[in-house]
Amino acid sequence: MKQGTRTGLAHLPLHGGKAPPWLFERMTGLSREITIAIVSEFSPEELLRRLSDPFWFQGLGCVLGWDWHSSGVTTTVCGALKEGVRGLEDELGIYIAGGKGKTSRQTPQQIARHSEHISLDSAPLVYASRMTAKIDSCAIQDGYQLYHHTFLFTAKGNWAVIQQGMNERNRYARRYHWLSEGVKDFVCEPHSAICSQGFGSALNMVAKESEAARAVVTRVAAAEQPENLVKELNKLKSLDLPSHHAISVQDLHPERLEKIFLSTYEHKPDCFESLLGMQGVGPKTIRSLSLISELIYGVAPSFKDPARYSFAHGGKDGVPYPVDRTTYDRSVEILARAVRKARLGNREEMEALKRLHSAFP
């Protein structure tokens, strides 16, 4: 985990429904002006850094008028940002792909389209998008199924990811933050933050403590005959697993995994990241290999839930007060005017905003 000493839990209960049109329109307008202000004053890369900070992101949601404690803050804020920069991407140097549900699956095509327009190699960006999604759905098995994936990048090729999963059983959501400049290794403590209510242990193959397990899992996938792996899994299904083990074997079907095991055996991945990136390798493959590694080879992965962040803000549902539409519109107007004047060389109002920020840190 990055982000220093900030710890805690983010309680994000699942909330249904959509943002009211009158509010989303204002959120789009204000997020546009905030984006322009940050990019103008600092850089596109600074915007990525701030969005990768879960506290800043949550604060942004509150400034935009959304309720702090809802899963909807993730999807709605990302949607407002994407809509807000539409048509201004080249001017700002910020490009946003993906979104919620079916839109998330269009992320590679959207990245490629933007990249082609600015003559940027899209391959590393598409790889980052796919690998971050694969890690948060397969390498970290915490009971949250991904349904939202937003990928932001700059003309220099720097990127950030904000994605969210849901757990229908406990009715909570979990948000995962990524920042390219902080990723030294995709499969070892790569996140800038993971935000959620904690619910026990999780299979965490990207924890530092899982280094030995990653090596063994890769070796097992590349060297063991597929039929031997299937036999071992069938044996494991009859065992009583240790109480700390968060992995259920009851839903594993070894015979269905044999085709994937044959693929890993034939392609012989040379590292865990390569294994994870292989087509067809999903949560059940990683779960099965981790079981074999622990119970047959004696090398256990980490079962430490990585989520550690909490917030305390107000928002749209009347807490601490209802959204004041008149004041909201006035705020957008003031910020938009200050940004326009600053870009024309008149920085008096922008400097006033900066002084206001200094007075109320």
What does the DSSP assignment read for 188-232? SS--SEEEE---S--EETTSGGGHHHHHHHHHHHHHS-HHHHHHH
**Domain boundary, last residue among 280, 295, 310:** 295
Backbone angles phi, psi at 16, to 5 degrees: -85, 180
Assess whether pLDDT exceeds 80 at residue 90.
yes
Q: How far is CA 104 from the centre of its chain?
A: 12
The pLDDT > 90 percentage for the chain reads 50
Same domain for 150 and 268: no
* Each residue's pLDDT tens digit, 242-253: 555 445 666 678
Please say if the pLDDT value at position 347 is more than 80: no
220 in a structural domain: yes
pLDDT of residue 314: 33
3-state secondary structure of 135: helix
Integer Cα distance of 90 and 100 in angstroms = 24
pLDDT in the model for residue 248: 60
Based on the fold, state whether residues 196 and 212 are members of the same structural domain: no
Query: 190 and 96 share a domain?
Result: yes
Q: Give this prediction's pTM.
A: 0.82
Residue type, 17: G
pLDDT (average), residues 178-198: 88
Do 51 and 110 belong to one domain?
yes
Residue 325 reports pLDDT greater than 70: no
Number of domains in the chain: 3
Query: Do 190 and 267 belong together in one domain?
Result: no
Q: How far apart are CA 256 and CA 71, in angstroms?
A: 34
Do residues 233 and 264 make contact, with C-beta atoms less than 8 angstroms apart?
no
Of the two residues 141 and 5, the one the predictor is more confident about is 141
361 or 153, greater pLDDT: 153
Over residues 333-342, the pLDDT tens digits come to 766 766 666 6
Q: Give me the pLDDT at residue 345, please.
A: 64
The structure tokens listed for 269 are: 């991945």
Furthest C-alpha separation in the chain: 74
Residue 308 placed within a domain: no
Q: What is the mean pLDDT of residues 24-43?
A: 90
pLDDT tens string 189-227? 999 888 876 666 789 999 999 999 999 999 999 999 999
In which residue are the tokens 């220093």 written?
4
Mean pLDDT of 6-33: 73
Q: Would you state the pLDDT for residue 3?
A: 39
Same domain, 230 and 259: yes
Task: State yes or no: pLDDT of 87 exceeds 50.
Answer: yes
Same domain, 277 and 337: no
Q: State both tokens at 121.
A: 């190699």
**Within this chain, do residues 111 and 169 fall inside the same structural domain, yes or no?**
yes
Domain span at residue 350 reads: 325-359
Q: Is the pLDDT of residue 27 over 80?
A: yes
Please say if the pLDDT value at position 279 is more than 90: yes
Q: Is the pLDDT of residue 359 over 80?
A: no
